[in-house]
Structure 1
Amino acid sequence: MTSPKFRKSLLCLSLAVALGQPVHAQVADTFVAGDIRVDGLQRISAGTVFTYLPIEKGDEVTGAKTTEAIRALYKTGFFSDVRFERQGDILVVSVVERPSINTLTLKGNKEIKTEDLLKGLKGIGLAEGETYNPLNLDRVTQELLRQYNNKGKYGVTITPTVATIDRNRVDVTLDIAEGKGARLRDINIVGNAVYADDVLREGWESNTSNWLSWYKRDDQYSREKLSGDLEKLSDYYLDRGYVDFNVESTQVAITPDKKDIFLTANVTEGEVYKVSSVKVSGDTIVPVAEVEKLVLVRAGNTFSRQLLTATNDRITAMLGNIGYAFAEVNPVPEIDREGREIGIDFVVTPGPRVQVRRIEIEGNVRTNDEVVRREMRQFENSWYSQSALDRSKIRLQRLGFFETVEVESKPVPGRPDQVDVVMKVKERNSGSFVFGLGYQQLYGMTASVQLSENNFLGTGNRMAVSVQNNSYSKRLSFSYTDPYFTENGVSVGYNVSFSDYNQGDFNTARYTSKNFNFESVIGIPLSETDSVQFALGFDKIDLTTTLGSTPKPLIDYLDDILGTQPYFPCFPSVDDDNNPATPSENDDNNPAAPDPDICGFNQTWPTRQVRAQAGWGRDSRNDYLLPTAGTYHRIGAEFSFPGSDISYYKLSYQFEHYRPLNSWLVLKIGTDLGYGDSYGNSGGYGLPFFKNFYVGGPQSVRGYEANTLGPSYGTCAIVAPATTCVPNYLQPLGGALKVAGTFELLFPKLFNSRGTRLSAFLDYGNAFAGSFDYSGYTDPSVGAVYGTEKFKLNALRASAGVALQWQAPVGPISISYAMPINEGELDRVERLQFTFGQQF
């Protein structure tokens, strides 16, 4: 029986022999190489071998040199076997090339993206076209295991497969079975006497399983998340004066099945320290008294690192705004551990004052440089200003042309007082194209084309064209806006449209209108966030009503203001006075003259208005399409000039406020108000019905059919044995008063795509009758108006639901599902709604 020592020696000897197998130096005698030949090459050229070979033609070949040459060729990683032989005075180098990687396939990876993995694999030589090295494959497998373990996936298995194919190539496949991540079953903090565990863990990314874990994934262990959470724990104590706080150790225990993790953190709290003194020293550039105004730390208060950091940021920002881009503020503490006090000295090191040499723009493939530069508030050959750069970034984001905007300041080599600013943008689709084609039995073939472009030909100008044609509507519209008509940002725009609508097919009252509209719009900026806008327009509107179809209040309104119009179409009748069957009302009692024409039930009222609009807006939102912070206000007024056929005015107010609640949740509050009435020759008749406000649908109160909330007109008849009248054929009339709003929780980071987000909302609103008198329309058998109450809080309709917003390649898409909360008896519910090709 062999002893353990002997077996160990035998194993070492066998291993040494195995490791030495590939190396062959069969050159026993020393000789001068008259020539060198390389055998066995397939993909690699002989020149490449000679580049690495330390022996040249005419050199003396010895055993030491061949050993050195073999090592050099193996070190390249190109060969799996190298042999040296002598044929006369010819040195023969026989090699066996390693195969090349034909394909590299990853399967089963969900936690880590394929493109990220391939990029990392290429960095260590494992990529398609590279030389295959088994050692690299093993290194990759171990590294992937480590990355998955850091993400809490301890049950992951990675199975590499290498398939040999023709021409000395291999197909490499990494089959990854990620398994389920280990769940945090318990998090325990030991040593905390002042604050409870649940207080200390508030805001942690790591948590035990809860009802939101399916979304937040906070119950999945990750080493990176744990490090961040322990840093938050330290910050919590340091912000409350515990200068000596320390995390002594952490223990992470995993169950044998690798499914559950138990985390323990041992801490030492220490004592609370007070601030004994505060001073500012160093080269402050500006007077020390000005800098001291920015200091938030006060003597006598409890020490807070949060206030310390905020003070640093304020002083640094102040110096950065006057050109000191590399200013540093170093708070130097003087700790008195016996007295539990700490003195703070803010030492200011401004560095050189920096000038911006150049502003470079990267990533704008379609957008002209001028469009980006005119939004910049940092200028070339001027002092560096951090606030100007921050403002420039926000202005570029609000254009709606770019998905991301990044700012980078690069020092100029050899010039410490200069930097180059690089604006890196990633363009997004700034327009939308909508094409619709369909057939309905009632309306026939329908077709529509809508094209809008907010960055026309890369100029930043806005252009939109819309063509629609079907049996119930025809429309052609064109609009164009130049937001920088002048260098100061004065905008000029034009809108022209021709339309022929059968309004009843749009959830409004049944009448038709032929419209020609033209307006010119001028916008004037007042500040970075404020602007005013003025518009002057002309409207030619021919309104056609049908007796028995159009609501009677609308016909009476037009009769009272514009006078009764003749009915049409009319057809000449024959002379039938001698016909006893002819109704007497058709007889003119004159056999020599034709009877009156027979006319239909339509009437047309032509109207002409010259109108003006004025508005003031303030917009501090941080993005054009999907803002997450900032506020939007707009106050608008519209009125027709005296002398127009119908005199009216409208007032409106829109408000939006976005407030981030944390890193993954944003609160949106919105309000939309409107009121209108008549004046002058139309005074007392209320806002014209074709100018009414409408509420309901995807753009206001979701969950209700578009435009259906508020006053409506309908008829009904009581048929036995029923005793109540349920109106039918309801036609929404709109209202002179509009109240609508929303409370919405936005989840901007739920999806990886920046242009996609989910939200949960609560909408409210309604339209209310104005000064028009509907009191005479109460007979349901003839036609009655419903929902004419004045504004009341309990009359507001509400709905709650969820919505998905997506910035699709062909334009924005919004889908919502809402449940009405207090729907009325006559309300029309539509829970699932979507819009396509419109701005959110």
Structure 2
Amino acid sequence: MMTRPTVRRRLLSIALAAALAGPAYAQNYEPFEVADIRVEGLQRISAGTVFTYLPVERGDTLDRGRSGDAIRALFRTGFFSDVSLERQGDILVVVVTERPAINSITLSGNKDIKTDDLMAGLRSIGLAEGETYNPLNLDRITQELIRQYNNRGKYNVSILPSVSNLDRNRVDITIVVEEGKAARIRDINIVGNETYLEEDLRQSWESDTSNWLSWYRRDDQYSREKLSGDLEKLSNYYLDRGYVDFNVESTQVAISPDKRDIFVTANIAEGEVYTIGDVKVSGDTILPVEEMEKLLFVAEGATFSRARVELSTDAMIAVLGNIGYAFAQVNPVPDIDRENRVVGLNFFVEPGPRVQVRRIVFKGNTGTADEVLRREMRQFEGAWFSQAAVDRSKVRLQRLGFFEEIDIETPEVAGTPDMVDVVVNVKERNSGQFTFGLGYQQTYGLITSLQLVQNNFLGTGNRVAIAVQNNSFSKQYSLGYTDPYFTDSGVSLGYNLSYSDYSYSRQDANLAQYNNAVASAEALVGLPLTETDSIQFSVGIDRNAITTQDGFTPEPLIQYLVSTLGDRQRFPQFHIDDDQDPETPADNDDDDPSTTDPLQSGGSRKWNVNAWRLQTGWVRDSRNDFLLPTRGSYHRISAEFVLPGSDLEYYKLGYNFEHYMPLTNWLVMKFGAEIGFGDSYGDTSKALCQSFDTEGDIITTTTNCGLPFFRNYYAGGPNSIRGFEVNTVGPTYQFTSDGFRQPIGGSFKTAGTIEFYFPTLFDSRGTRLSTFIDYGNVYNGFDDWEAKTLRISTGVALQWESPMGPIQISYALPIQRERSDQIERLQFTFGGSF
């Protein structure tokens, strides 16, 4: 009697034999010589593809063994769900059933990981549009996506793939992702640290338990890659302090049953502190050994530090790379004496071949001419390769402002180990901008302005700017053109033409009330001195037609013109009825041109001020980026002189400063300062002007006339001291009639800012949030400056390089102000790009 397991085994054997006998029977024909091969069942795949993989050709003898090999070979391609061989006479018929093609892959519900990143993971396992669909890949899809989300600390993720059959043997794949919430790090524990506190060891870690900044830094979200990097930092911390035998013995990561909390424990062994023994440089050093030894950051007797060893290695590689040895290697070979806890170091130099640059290739510059990029390159074709020149070239390209991304590769020329190509990959940005201003005031109605700037005109790198502003109280028109490479040596040449007409009004952009029609023209020349330094010169002519109105224009402004240029006749002139008799006939009144009544002058006066202007300036710019710098400095010293023989003689001096310094990988600090001073000279300075106090009253003493009021400095607004209305910070004049206080500017300006940028808050490179402190004021001269009079504000700002153009929004709170100051907490500027 057979037992139940025996019966089960017999049945299994019979079933397996039957399964194997089927295909064997189907191919159970006598061996024959193949005269021809025909393929049936193909829809998308060509017969040539089948013949490529089929291990049988015409003239071959096909037997049972070769039939099995042929079927297995075609199955291995993954193109077919079924394969069989049939014989028709001496013709071999290959009958196949194709697997469907993937028509589309749709992802939904993924927020934490971009669709492009997920698609890249699917492509890595052979799942992409146009590829052959294999049902077995559905499970691989699920596992791959779960793996990507688990690496980001999301353990509650749900992946639901589905397949829809289409005509022509195609399928659509839909993948629905339910990400869930990321597991939070509840506790991190380092065991075995005897020398250093845990808070010191974890100071630079990206992983942390929940804290008040976690909403921004996301440091409490567990990630396997992030933890691996933190453990590497832990190892570096000890190795930089001489603990050569330091080791992370084990790491335990525990997850709570609800998959919401993570507990991390790292067990470490510190070991002992090692010092540095004998240090030498060997190998083919190219340069004298003494020069290479000067690049070492380690010395005998000092505590061992891997960071200093790496700095020494990098310094020697950099020096060799700058003289053409692009593939130089420096290998520090340690000699560890564990008994005496001493590490000897031998820096072995392998320079490799000296490399020349064969060709410089630009890719991605569809709208910018190669010449515009090539003239910024400091690495040249046919010259020895220099890493410093390549790095400098990248910085210069970034500072053009034409590109969002710049990546430089140096691939080796195939078959020529001593030559490389320099491949510059760029992603162009919209180099044209329009700035559009729109506002409304109850008194003056709609205010509009438009500025068009093309920094890369027709791809030539030349700059063209057109500005138009038109509203009820002002008109401005300007045209500018600059060729930054007028000569091959980098001399720039530019021209500017402008006309503006400001009508006097009580609130004319918070500027003093007078009408000023200005026409000007100038020519500019720039000369490069070094990679970061240049000087600029310009010569121009201005004509100011200034019209004042008694009772509306602040009296100090009128008195300045009278004192320096002399008085002007008032206009308009009109007749008056001076007999004071209301019975006077109508034919003898003000409107009768034949009247003999005397003339009465109006309250307007007009002065024409002509000036020949010479400007010069020195600029040092070491910032690493045109749009959003993160390191480097900007200095500008400028001087403007109105030449002798002009109607008014004066000068202005200025200094602007910016410095960017990265504090961490997610925080950048900026210091900014601006100082400006102006005064008159020559005959203008000899004239005596009346002094007025801030209430509008005349001070009995007179002073030498200084800087013309129409060239005064102003402060306040989005580009100066945020939180205060535009141009309202500084000297004012109060009208006695109604107490209205009008800003009139001053001859001395001090302003500055301290700003902290958070550039990694958003994924977009052109977006960053900042917090700032602005300060400054405008004075009538040096003697009026007092620290307690500085206006100070603090707030937050958002800078966004949107698809439509740059947008800046700030919200500021004044923390040092006067009661009479005009406050505007929310301010913004908007521009568009094309």
TM-score w.r.t. length of structure 1? 0.90
Tell me: CA distance 1:380–1:102, structure 2 relative to 1, closer, same or farther (3 Å): closer
Counterpart mapping for 1:8-19 below 5 A: 9=9
Residue 734 (structure 2) pairs with residue 714 (structure 1): yes
1:257 Cα deviation from its structure 2 partner: 0.9
Q: Structure 2 CA distance, aligned partners of 1:527 and 1:434?
A: 33
Report the equivalent of 1:26.
26
Report the equivalent of 1:776.
none
Q: Structure 1 CA distance, aligned partners of 2:2 and 2:457?
A: 88
Report the equivalent of 2:523.
520
Report the equivalent of 2:794.
800
Tell me: CA distance 1:352–1:96, structure 2 relative to 1, closer, same or farther (3 Å): closer
Give CA deviations for 1:576-624 in whole Å, capped at 9, x if unaligned: 65956679xx999xx9971223443222111111111121121111111
Tell me: CA distance 1:384–1:94, structure 2 relative to 1, closer, same or farther (3 Å): closer
> Which deviates further from its counterpart, 47-56 or 288-297?
47-56
Does the CA-based 8 Å contact 1:577-1:587 persist in structure 2? no
Residue 824 (structure 2) pairs with residue 823 (structure 1): no
Does the CA-based 8 Å contact 2:436-2:831 persist in structure 1? no
Q: Structure 2 CA distance, aligned partners of 1:11 and 1:709?
A: 98
Residue 759 (structure 2) pairs with residue 736 (structure 1): no
Q: Structure 2 CA distance, aligned partners of 1:414 and 1:37?
A: 44
1:502 Cα deviation from its structure 2 partner: 2.5
Report SS of the residue matched to 1:480.
strand
Gaps of 5+ in 1: 718-726, 772-788
Give CA deviations for 1:180-199 in whole Å, capped at 9, x if unaligned: 11111111111110011111
1:444 Cα deviation from its structure 2 partner: 5.7
1:471 Cα deviation from its structure 2 partner: 2.5
1:136 Cα deviation from its structure 2 partner: 1.8
Does the CA-based 8 Å contact 2:31-2:64 persist in structure 1? no
1:226 Cα deviation from its structure 2 partner: 1.2
Report the equivalent of 1:774.
none
- The aligned length equals 808
Residue 554 (structure 2) pairs with residue 543 (structure 1): no
Q: Structure 2 CA distance, aligned partners of 1:381 and 1:87?
A: 67
Tell me: CA distance 1:23–1:262, structure 2 relative to 1, closer, same or farther (3 Å): farther
Counterpart mapping for 1:290-689 below 5 A: 290-434=291-435, 442-443=443-444, 448-502=449-503, 504-572=507-575, 579=581, 594-683=596-685, 684-689=704-709
Residue 756 (structure 2) pairs with residue 756 (structure 1): no
1:309 Cα deviation from its structure 2 partner: 0.8
Q: Structure 2 CA distance, aligned partners of 1:81 and 1:759?
A: 63
Report the equivalent of 2:756.
745
Q: Structure 1 CA distance, aligned partners of 2:394 and 2:761?
A: 24
Report SS of the residue matched to 1:146.
helix
Q: Structure 2 CA distance, aligned partners of 1:678 and 1:11?
A: 114
Q: Structure 2 CA distance, aligned partners of 1:20 and 1:560?
A: 116
1:821 Cα deviation from its structure 2 partner: 1.2
1:63 Cα deviation from its structure 2 partner: 3.6
1:336 Cα deviation from its structure 2 partner: 1.4
Does the CA-based 8 Å contact 2:749-2:776 persist in structure 1? yes
1:297 Cα deviation from its structure 2 partner: 0.8
Q: Structure 1 CA distance, aligned partners of 2:476 and 2:755?
A: 34
Give CA deviations for 1:645-683 in whole Å, capped at 9, x if unaligned: 122111111111111101111110000111112222221
Q: Structure 2 CA distance, aligned partners of 1:46 and 1:587?
A: 109
Give CA deviations for 1:369-390 in whole Å, capped at 9, x if unaligned: 2221222222222222222222
Does the CA-based 8 Å contact 2:254-2:264 persist in structure 1? yes
1:96 Cα deviation from its structure 2 partner: 3.2
> Which deviates further from its counterpart, 52-61 or 233-242?
52-61
Report the equivalent of 2:701.
none
TM-score w.r.t. length of structure 2? 0.91
Report the equivalent of 1:790.
784
Does the CA-based 8 Å contact 2:554-2:735 persist in structure 1? no
> Which deviates further from its counterpart, 5-14 or 195-204?
5-14
> Which deviates further from its counterpart, 412-421 or 738-747?
412-421
Does the CA-based 8 Å contact 1:705-1:830 persist in structure 2? yes
Tell me: CA distance 1:2–1:675, structure 2 relative to 1, closer, same or farther (3 Å): farther
Q: Structure 1 CA distance, aligned partners of 2:441 and 2:20?
A: 83
Q: Structure 2 CA distance, aligned partners of 1:818 and 1:631?
A: 26
Q: Structure 2 CA distance, aligned partners of 1:78 and 1:281?
A: 58
Tell me: CA distance 1:672–1:9, structure 2 relative to 1, closer, same or farther (3 Å): farther
Q: Structure 2 CA distance, aligned partners of 1:498 and 1:691?
A: 16
Report the equivalent of 2:700.
none
1:710 Cα deviation from its structure 2 partner: 1.0
Residue 719 (structure 2) pairs with residue 699 (structure 1): yes
Report the equivalent of 1:722.
none
Tell me: CA distance 1:77–1:712, structure 2 relative to 1, closer, same or farther (3 Å): same
Give CA deviations for 1:742-798 in whole Å, capped at 9, x if unaligned: 110011222222222111111111111238xxxxxxxxxxxxxxxxx9211111111
1:250 Cα deviation from its structure 2 partner: 0.8
Q: Structure 2 CA distance, aligned partners of 1:102 and 1:82?
A: 23
Q: Structure 1 CA distance, aligned partners of 2:50 and 2:355?
A: 52
Q: Structure 2 CA distance, aligned partners of 1:827 and 1:522?
A: 41
Residue 829 (structure 2) pairs with residue 835 (structure 1): yes
Report the equivalent of 1:779.
none
Q: Structure 1 CA distance, aligned partners of 2:109 and 2:639?
A: 59
The residue type paired with residue 805 of structure 1 is: Q
1:60 Cα deviation from its structure 2 partner: 5.3
Partner of residue 710 from structure 2, selected from 674, 686, 690: 690
Q: Structure 2 CA distance, aligned partners of 1:545 and 1:800?
A: 38
1:233 Cα deviation from its structure 2 partner: 0.8
1:45 Cα deviation from its structure 2 partner: 4.5
Does the CA-based 8 Å contact 2:122-2:144 persist in structure 1? no
Q: Structure 2 CA distance, aligned partners of 1:262 and 1:39?
A: 60
Report SS of the residue matched to 2:280.
strand
Residue 289 (structure 2) pairs with residue 278 (structure 1): no
Q: Structure 1 CA distance, aligned partners of 2:15 and 2:557?
A: 101
Does the CA-based 8 Å contact 1:434-1:810 persist in structure 2? no
Does the CA-based 8 Å contact 2:241-2:305 persist in structure 1? yes
The residue type paired with residue 358 of structure 1 is: R
1:88 Cα deviation from its structure 2 partner: 6.6
Does the CA-based 8 Å contact 1:433-1:810 persist in structure 2? no
Q: Structure 2 CA distance, aligned partners of 1:701 and 1:331?
A: 53
Gaps of 5+ in 2: 686-703
The residue type paired with residue 791 of structure 2 is: R
Give CA deviations for 1:421-461 in whole Å, capped at 9, x if unaligned: 22222222222024567887754666543211111122211
Q: Structure 2 CA distance, aligned partners of 1:714 and 1:20?
A: 107
Report the equivalent of 1:245.
246
Give CA deviations for 1:688-731 in whole Å, capped at 9, x if unaligned: 111111111010111111111111223367xxxxxxxxx75332
Does the CA-based 8 Å contact 1:126-1:137 persist in structure 2? no
The residue type paired with residue 416 of structure 1 is: P
> Which deviates further from its counterpart, 298-307 or 598-607?
598-607
Tell me: CA distance 1:129–1:409, structure 2 relative to 1, closer, same or farther (3 Å): closer
Report SS of the residue matched to 2:411.
strand
Report SS of the residue matched to 2:508.
helix
1:36 Cα deviation from its structure 2 partner: 5.6
The residue type paired with residue 482 of structure 1 is: D
Does the CA-based 8 Å contact 2:436-2:830 persist in structure 1? no
Tell me: CA distance 1:6–1:686, structure 2 relative to 1, closer, same or farther (3 Å): farther
Report the equivalent of 2:688.
none
Tell me: CA distance 1:92–1:297, structure 2 relative to 1, closer, same or farther (3 Å): closer
Q: Structure 1 CA distance, aligned partners of 2:135 and 2:258?
A: 31
The residue type paired with residue 462 of structure 1 is: R
